[in-house]
Amino acid sequence: MSDRKLALITGASSGIGREIAKLAAADGYDLIVAADEPLVDAAAGLREGGIEVRSVEADLATPAGVEALLAATAGRQIDVLVANAGHGLGHGFLDQSVAEWRHVIDTNIAGTLLLLQPVLKQMVARGEGKVLITGSIAGHLAGSFQAVYNGSKAFIDSFAAAIGNELKDSGVTITCLKPGATDTNFFARAGMLDTKVGQAEKDDPADVAKTGWEAMKDGEHSVVHGLKNKAQVLASGILSEATTAEMHRKQAEPGSADR
């Protein structure tokens, strides 16, 4: 067995998670990477540095998927956990099927917590470990036409801060990365390519990943990527939810790209 440290990273098939996996590989971590599609190409690219990479295909919206991912560690110590898997869902709430919006909650909230709890118990028992959770600035904004998603990220942003506080004397740190709109598969998968935000220029996932990875190494509680996003979070503390909901409508309403 390798004597390198181990990082377990979810949502590593593309976007922000894939970039975080590259940073972890560059820092010499062995990797267990997970997504709900096979990760063959991503895993091969990461292995170039001579580290061990194990890829796991698992639907992290389900307890069985989370269990399969944990089983892949084969009892090996997890030094870094990056709970990044998640997805959005555009359109009005009344136009979304129950299966669609439940999958957002089951992935972004339930699956994330099912993974975090056992890993955190092990880390706390050892008195060390680092956890990076991908929240979002969306958690600060009432998300018209992405209502369930923004609500899920409000949960994650708040939850990360709360458990970070609960564990403050444990030797384990919790960092919440809060990206703004980032150029990944996110908007296509959420069915939002005909929206203003879907068509807008976005942040580079490599830059976003670096912000999160560095903040995690420094043990910061949370980090918002980019000045514009920091300004949006600040403004959300002053504006009413009705106002941020109206602003969000302009960006996320289906067809808004053409207005």
Catalytic residue numbers read 149
Given the complex with ligand NAP, which of 136 and 232 has the nearer CB atom?
136
Minimum Å gap between C-beta 178 and ligand NAP is 7
Q: Does 41 bind ligand NAP (CB under 6 A)?
A: no
Which parts of 160-189 interact with ligand NAP (CB under 6 A)? 179, 181-182, 184-186, 189
198 binding ligand NAP? (CB under 6 A): no
How far is the C-alpha of 257 from the C-alpha of 195, rounded, in Å? Answer: 4
Q: What is the dihedral of CA 68, 118, 22, 103, to 10 degrees?
A: 60
Please work out, in degrees rounded to the nearest 5, the angle formed at the alpha carbon of residue 108 by the alpha carbons of 101 and 20. 135
Contacts of residue 164, defined as CB under 8 A and 6 or more positions apart, other chains included, come to 173, 174, 175, 176, 221
Instruction: Walk across the sheet containing 129-134 and list its strands.
Output: 53-57, 30-35, 6-10, 80-83, 129-134, 172-178, 222-224
Smallest gap from Cβ 70 to ligand NAP, in A, equals: 13
Distance CA 171, CA 159 (A): 18
Considering only 25, 61, 120, 131, the residue that binds ligand NAP (CB under 6 A) is 61
Least separation in angstroms between residue 120's CB and ligand NAP is 18
Beta carbons of 82 and 137 less than 8 angstroms apart: no
Q: Is 84 in the site for ligand NAP (CB under 6 A)?
A: yes
**By Cβ distance, which residue is nearest to ligand NAP?**
15
DSSP SS3 for 227: helix
Crossing angle for the helix pair 112-126 and 63-71, nearest 10 degrees? Answer: 40
Among residues 6 and 85, whose Cβ is nearest to ligand NAP? Answer: 85
CB 59 within 8 A of CB 48: no
Our CB check for ligand NAP shows the closer of 171 and 224 to be 224
State which of positions 63-82 bind ligand NAP (CB under 6 A): none
36 binds ligand NAP (CB under 6 A): yes
8-27: contacts with ligand NAP (CB under 6 A): 11-17
Q: What is the binding site for ligand NAP (CB under 6 A)? A: 11-17, 35-37, 59-61, 84-87, 107, 134, 136, 138, 179, 181-182, 184-186, 189, 205
